[in-house]
């Protein structure tokens, strides 16, 4: 028991700093509806998403638009993700096509149909000065 006291004293003296979140809301229409008992989930390559488990999307008002808000830590870059239909006793049914893209901090929502293409991704611009600076860094790295 006494061996735990230094750890407790250390923990009591620590402060916890909250990590600011960059929320992105998924709003997905399922044109044909879901099979009875099935759920719609999101999976991806960056926490809170993961490829081996789904974060469920909910249709709280029954309008056919399934929603989930995902909180990514500040500084999160590109996030690849896909939607799946999860049914008990079956492998997940993945939406077709390439992985979709989220840009936390640059987009606040992704609105689309299940299996449909993404629209409204932010346009990223780079100034002439930024390109010149990047070119200089690359040239110096090659010398």
Q: Using CA atoms, how far apart are residues 9 and 102, in angstroms rounded to an integer?
A: 42
Neighbours of 98 (CB within 10 A): 9
- DSSP letter for 135, please: H
**pLDDT exceeding 70 applies to what percent of the chain?**
81
Winning range, highest mean pLDDT, from 14-18, 23-27, 95-99, 110-114? 23-27
pLDDT at 20: 63
Based on the number of CB atoms within 10 Å of its own CB, is 92 exposed (0-12), middle (13-18) or buried (19 or more)? middle
CA 57/CA 134 separation, integer angstroms: 40
Query: For residues 65 and 27, is the Cβ–Cβ distance under 8 A?
Result: yes
Q: Which residues pair with 65 in a beta bridge?
A: 29
Give the residue-averaged pLDDT of 78-92: 94
For 108-118, the pLDDT digits (tens) are 999 888 888 77
Give 23-47 pLDDT, tens digit per residue: 999 999 998 889 999 999 999 999 9
Q: Give the residue from 73, 61, 58 showing the smallest Cα distance to 27.
A: 58
Distance CA 21, CA 143 (A): 40
**Residue 35 token pair:** 């099979």
pLDDT at residue number 65? 94
Q: How confident is the model at residue 115, as a pLDDT?
A: 85
Cα(42)–Cα(53) distance, rounded to whole angstroms?
8
Greatest Cα pair distance in the chain: 64
Cα dist from 56 to 31, 84, 130, whole Å: 18, 9, 40
What does pTM read for this prediction?
0.70
Indicate the range of 21-30, 66-75, 121-130, 134-143 predicted with least confidence: 121-130
């Amino acid at each position: 028991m006494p061996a735990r006291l230094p750890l407790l004293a250390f923990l009591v003296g620590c402060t916890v700093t909250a990590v600011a979140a960059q929320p992105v809301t998924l709003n997905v229409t399922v044109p044909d509806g879901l099979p009875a008992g099935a759920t719609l989930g999101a999976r991806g390559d960056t926490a809170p998403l993961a490829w081996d488990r789904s974060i469920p999307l909910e249709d709280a008002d029954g309008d056919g638009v399934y929603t989930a808000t995902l909180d990514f830590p500040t500084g999160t870059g590109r996030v690849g993700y896909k939607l799946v239909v999860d049914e008990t006793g079956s492998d997940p049914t993945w939406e077709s096509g390439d992985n979709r893209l989220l840009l936390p901090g640059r987009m606040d929502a992704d609105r689309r149909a299940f299996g449909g293409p993404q629209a409204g991704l932010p346009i990223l611009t780079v100034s002439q000065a930024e390109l010149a600076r990047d070119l200089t860094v690359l040239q110096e790295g090659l010398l």
